[in-house]
Amino acid sequence: MTIRQKILQFLDKEGLAYSKLNNLFSFIAKTYSLSEAKVQQEFYNLIKEGSIFEIRKNKFIPIPSRGYDKGKFIGNAKGFGFVQIDSLGEKDDIFIPANMTMNAIDGDEVIVKILGQTDDGSEGKIVNIFKPIEKIVGVVVKEGKNLFLEPDNNHIPFKVRLILNNNYSVDDKVVALLLRDGKQLKAKVIENLGRIDNVKACELSIIREFNLYETFPDKVLEECKKIPDKVTTTQKQGRVDFTKDTVFTIDGEDAKDFDDAVGIALNEKGNYILSVHIADVGEYVKYDSALDEEAYNRGTSVYFPTSVLPMLPVKLSNGICSLNEGVERLTLSCIMEINKNGDVVSHQICEGVIKSVARLTYTQAYKILCGEKAEEKAEKVKEQLLLMQELSKILQDKRERNGSLDFELPEVEFVFDKNGMAIDLKQRERNSAHRLIEDFMVVANETVAKDFCDKKIPFVYRVHEPPKKEKVVSVLEFLKGVGVKIPSLPENINSKFYQELLARIENASFQKTANKIILRSMQKAKYTNQCLGHFGLGLEYYCHFTSPIRRYPDLTIHRIIKEFLHKKNLTGQRKVELEELTYKSSEQSSVTERNAEKCEREVDDLWKAYLMKDKIGQEFDATVSSVTNFGIFVELDNTVEGLIKIEDLPQDSYLFFEKQLKLKGQSHCFSIGDSLKVKLVNANIYSRRIDFVLA
């Protein structure tokens, strides 16, 4: 049990108030034989993150408990709001009346006291804002003689008075620092992003809304300067030398950082020897360094159509930590012997040194896999690529037998001009070369996760829990409503049941939309230090080991693996410390991942609107992707989605059938999967809204 767990357990059991905090620290320390200084440090950390709340002077309780909980405040234009208790959606939001918000702003992290239940759910009041938002993004507007910030966030139902200075003007997109003084709220502009009609300024405003930045602190860059540009002789000592082996990378055309390389051979038993070499980022990013702190805060790299916000500075991500062609690089390597059934019969995890023989693109590798003539460097590893194709098919077949799910949902790919400006968009291609690398990364992740779970060493796992029964029931009702013969609901819902659902809608006109509905019924994958399996992949063990350049949980487990390989004692107090480390890393990484994903989606929507605005008046083939009581959403082949409002549909007396996702009138009917010819009438980069009408 970690120090934080002991503190929370103590507060949960003890109904005591203390005249002095030091008495409380002392009592907890004596109860659990802990250092009083460490108890005090962790106690204040728990208060800062809202896990402890002082309900009256020196009377503390753990959160959640005794009718109190914590979460993120979701504002509303009418003044009331909700507290989202669990961002993974496992608990209902709590309604907060307008007079009980404690002047919280959308995005504030708060502690809420639950007052009772209503017909619509729980109601409560905010009692503490433990993590207020500090910055706000919006447009400068003028009212009378005063300048205000109109927030981009439409959940903030008011404009904020600006403290005057000379670095902005009306219609500028800006970032402002919030200044709270009781009920009064003002803001000071700290960054001017550009004019409201500039797509780059709009992109930056979204990025800042999610508190993401391109630059790194000076202390991080100073640490980077001390890191060598080449692998040193000292660093290679004690490592397995793979530099004579044929290993190479396969990535997208525009990739700059290469954190995985692969190699393959057959042994005397006819089994495949698959080597997956991952950049040894932990060799350069040390515990408690400025680099580590910044990587932890970022949690992940964030990818936009025209740029990347890396988790690590470019010197590391594109340099010494990138498995570039023809240079020595340090790795953590997983060498697996895999039989013809796809079973890993033995494996080795070690520190290594490699020298990649080729930087291949997916296109180059795919040509080889298709039997076509390819570039010289791809031809040189043709034998290995064809062997990899064999193994990839074996691994896919095994995963399918185990219940792995493949939704095949389209992703957008943007096309750029020579200046790096997006000029078009299309559906991203996913071929067998992509699948090959995905298959190898999955088997490496599974192998590493099982190894350290069996060793009972604290670890960070990538988990995907089974869907809630009520969500599955809703999916079955929907499928029944659109004419699919549904199977009976099993007592224990497993991924093979979901495989059967996907098989029953294969080749249906509404398959793409139904896939999305089925996918949304599943729980969100997350990081945790508990090995709970991965429903979507049909695996009992899974972690993220293969991308430490761009994901902090991968870096966390790399360090644990390296400690184990160096035969450091991971029991006793060190095990407690690792439990704490893996818990915090999991929580932080899950939060930063969700933040990054949402930001990426909104930036994609911006560029879609930007690229469509010159096509207003043009006609397109589209498919009905969703149906609501206010209209229908349609999707183009290039993944652009937009709304046809109900008032723009042919005049009729429409009824909305929610379970069947159908809008039906006396003469017209619109259902998901219907093919339509539509005309674009609106594409707004500010609201990121796209509207169509029937052609």
Q: Is 512 helix (H, G, I), strand (E, B) or coil?
A: helix
Residue 12 domain flag:
yes
Does one domain contain both 424 and 472? no
The pLDDT of 105-113, averaged and rounded, is 94
Mean pLDDT is lowest, of 76-90, 451-465, 500-514, for 76-90
Q: Which amino acid is at 300?
A: T
Residue 611: inside a domain, yes or no? Answer: no
**Hey, what are 154's tokens?**
């439409």
pLDDT band per the 50, 70, 90 thresholds, residue 87: very low
The reply to whether 201 falls in a domain is no
Average pLDDT over residues 664-686: 94
Query: Is the pTM of the predicted complex or chain greater than 0.75?
Result: yes
DSSP-assigned beta bridge partners for residue 260? 278
C-alpha separations of 320 from 55, 254, 256 in Å: 51, 19, 12
CB 648 within 8 A of CB 631: yes
- Rounded Cα distance, 353 and 280, in Å: 9
Pair 19, 77 in one domain:
no
Structure tokens at 268: 């005397």
Domain boundary pick from 131, 166, 182: 131
User: Which helix (DSSP H) or strand (DSSP E) does residue 410 occupy?
Assistant: none
pLDDT at 19 exceeding the cut of 70: no
Residue range 270-320, pLDDT digits in tens: 999 999 999 999 999 999 899 999 999 999 999 998 889 999 999 999 999
State yes or no: pLDDT of 28 exceeds 60. Answer: yes
In the chain, the percentage of residues whose pLDDT exceeds 90 is 76
The average pLDDT across 427-437 equals 90
Q: What is the pLDDT of residue 429?
A: 83
| Residue 58 and residue 77 share a domain | no
The 10s digit of each residue's pLDDT in 611-654 is 999 999 999 999 999 999 999 999 999 999 999 999 999 999 99
Mapped onto helix, strand or coil, the DSSP state of residue 252 is: coil
Residues 154, 16: one domain? no
State the total domains in the chain: 6
Question: CATH number of the domain that 46 lies in?
Answer: 1.10.10
Question: What CATH number has the domain bearing residue 640?
Answer: 2.40.50.140
Q: Which pLDDT tens digit goes with each residue over 649-661?
A: 999 999 999 888 8
Q: Are residues 292 and 372 in the same domain?
A: yes
Inside any domain, residue 104: yes
Regarding whether 242 and 340 lie in a shared domain, the answer is: yes
Sign of CA dihedral 90, 95, 101, 107: positive
531 lies in a domain? no
Q: Please, which pLDDT band fits residue 170 given cuts at 50, 70 and 90?
A: very high
**Both 126 and 139 in a single domain?**
no
- DSSP single-letter state for residue 514: H
Q: Looking at the structure, tell me whether residues 363 and 447 fall in a common domain.
A: yes
Res 306: pLDDT: 85
Which of 499, 522, 545 lies at the terminal end of a domain, its last residue? 522
Cis peptide before 157 (omega within 30 of 0): no
Q: Are both 236 and 289 inside the same structural domain? A: yes
Structure tokens at 379: 């031809």
Mean of the pLDDT values across residues 372-401?
A: 96
535 by Cβ neighbours in 10 Å (0-12 / 13-18 / 19+) ranks as: buried
Report if residue 418 sits inside a domain: yes
Quote the pLDDT of residue 93.
Answer: 87
pLDDT at 119 over 80: no
**What CA–CA distance (Å, rounded) separates 95 from 641?**
31
Domain boundary among 571, 603, 635: 603
Q: Exposed e or buried b for every residue in 180-203, given b needs 16+ CB within 10 A?
A: eeeeebbbebebebbebeebebbb
- What's the half-sphere exposure (Cβ side, CA atoms, 13 Å) at 414? 22
Answer whether residue 530 is part of any domain: no
CATH number, domain containing residue 156: 2.40.50.640
Calculate mean pLDDT across residues 65-88: 86
Domain housing 488: 466-522
Q: How far is CA 690 from CA 56, 245, 622, 675, in A?
A: 51, 52, 13, 18
Given a contact cutoff of 8 angstroms between Cβ atoms, the answer to whether 526 and 542 are in contact is no
Determine the pLDDT at residue 91. Answer: 60
**560 shares a domain with 504:** no
Residue 556 CA to its chain's centroid (Å): 17
Q: Mean of the per-residue pLDDT values for the chain? A: 92
Residues 367, 424 within the same domain: yes
Mean pLDDT computed over 552-577:
94
* Residue 214 belongs to a domain: no
Instruction: Note the pLDDT of residue 263.
Output: 98
Neighbours of 276 (CB within 10 A): 26
Q: What is the pLDDT of residue 15?
A: 60
**Any idea what the Cα angle at residue 546 is, between residues 540 and 550, rounded to 5°?**
125
pLDDT given for residue 317 in this prediction: 94
Residues 444, 388 within the same domain: yes
> 544, 554 in Cβ contact below 8 A?
yes
